[in-house]
Amino acid sequence: MKFPRSYSLLASLLVVALCRVGTVSADVTLAVLNPRGEVQPPPVMGIQPRLSSLDGQRVALLENGKMGAHAFFDALDEQLTERYPRATILRIPKPQGSRFAFDATEWYPEVARRGDAFVFGMGD
């Protein structure tokens, strides 16, 4: 197929223009930004020493509200009460049940204040 002469001339001009743009362009500086930002990590606290016994201690049982958790903690409560009759067993359900997102900044310190040890468990 033969192209008209005007198409050939137009194509030649386009190629020349594209080549000149690459050689005449100004310097470009790109800044790469981190979309995650800078987040300071929370302070790290060490692990508390292991209790020598649960006898006379306050044991907090924390459940996430899913099915099956309550039955598990009923059995655990019974076992702990039988083995450690002087221990106080506290049942503390997780706020908002099994929903993951909740503000724990007040809940965890409250659990630490009320109990000497804790067991966290989930059902299903």
Q: Domain locations in the chain?
A: 58-121
| pLDDT tens-place string over residues 25-57 | 578 888 888 787 777 888 887 888 889 999 999
Which of 98, 111, 108 lies closest to 64 in space, CA to CA? 98
- Report the chain's mean pLDDT, rounded to a whole number: 80
User: How many C-beta atoms lie closer than 10 Å to residue 115's C-beta?
Assistant: 19
Would you list the DSSP string of 33-70? Answer: --TT---PPPPP-PPPPPPS--TT-EEEEEE---TTHH
| pLDDT tens-place string over residues 75-93 | 999 999 999 999 999 998 8
